Chains A and B, each alone.
Chain A
Amino acid sequence: DIVMTQSPDSLAVSLGETATINCKTSRSVLYNSNNKNYLAWYQQKPGQPPKLLIYWASTRESGVPDRFSGSGSGTDFTLTISSLQAEDVAVYYCQQCYSTPFTFGPGTKVDIK
């Protein structure tokens, strides 16, 4: 199984500042035949289901604000929230879609400082 880790567990960022969340996979999720990383990011607000933000490690889902960006390749990935807004308070999860079981990271809680 691919083990997912995220850091930090939580962070508090001032409005308008940048939040950075890291995700590491225990083995590469880069599919060499198409050079795509099978890594997704989700946002979950209290009482709501997860919402897909980013897929293929860096492709933003339709309708997701461009302050959300994903980067990384292989085993190390980053979700960056630029100019944090109050509505961005949530838990963020990474997930590998490379192989079953489709494991999720433990989550990173983002709050306003």
Chain B
Amino acid sequence: EVQLVESGGGLVQPGGSLRLSCAASGFTFSHYNMNWVRQAPGKGLEWLSYITTSSTTIYYADSVRGRFTISRDNAKNSLYLQMNSLSDDDTAVYYCATYDYAAYGGAFNIWGQGTMVTVSS
């Protein structure tokens, strides 16, 4: 079964850090560019970051650039998001999603179930 499973979410104090993981299975993870997307409670979807298969190209949204770092380990079939200097505005469900330019025109065709991050004192 094709699957993405996020983990690492939880409650963190403002100014704190958290590292999210996304474990891939059922497909060849190393062949896919990947993204992180978040959704604040009751709000819409916000794209955060993108990484290519070999990590040579990385992009960030302005809202997280300089605070968040995306990375991947193809040997472990895993994607990561290191989040630093967290604030209340970062409270959200965080999703990882695949990016397939050739077959889907860059649409995000596989999504994880998400992991909740709550920033609160």
Contacts and interface: CB of A to CB of B under 8 A. Distances in A.
A52 B111 CA distance: 9
Interface in A29-74: 36, 38, 40, 42, 44, 48-52, 55-56, 61
A38 B99 CA distance: 12
A103 interface: yes
Q: How large is the interface on B (under 10, 10 to 19, 20 to 34, 35 or more residues)?
A: 20 to 34
Given A49-B112, A50-B111, A104 B105 contact: no
Contacts of B59: 100-101
Contacts of A98: 106
B68 interface: no
Contacts of B95: 49-50
Contacts of A38: 105-106
B109 to A, nearest CB: 5
Contact of B44 (A36, A100, A107): A107
A102 B50 contact: yes
A97 B112 CA distance: 19
A9 to B, nearest CB: 11
A107 B46 CA distance: 11
B56 to A, nearest CB: 15
Given A38-B106, A93-B45, 6 more contacts: A36-B105, A40-B108, A97-B105, A102-B35, A102-B50, A106-B44
19 contacts: A38-B105, A40-B104, A40-B105, A40-B106, A49-B95, A50-B108, A50-B111, A52-B104, A52-B107, A55-B109, A93-B44, A93-B45, A95-B47, A95-B108, A98-B106, A100-B59, A101-B59, A101-B61, A104-B47
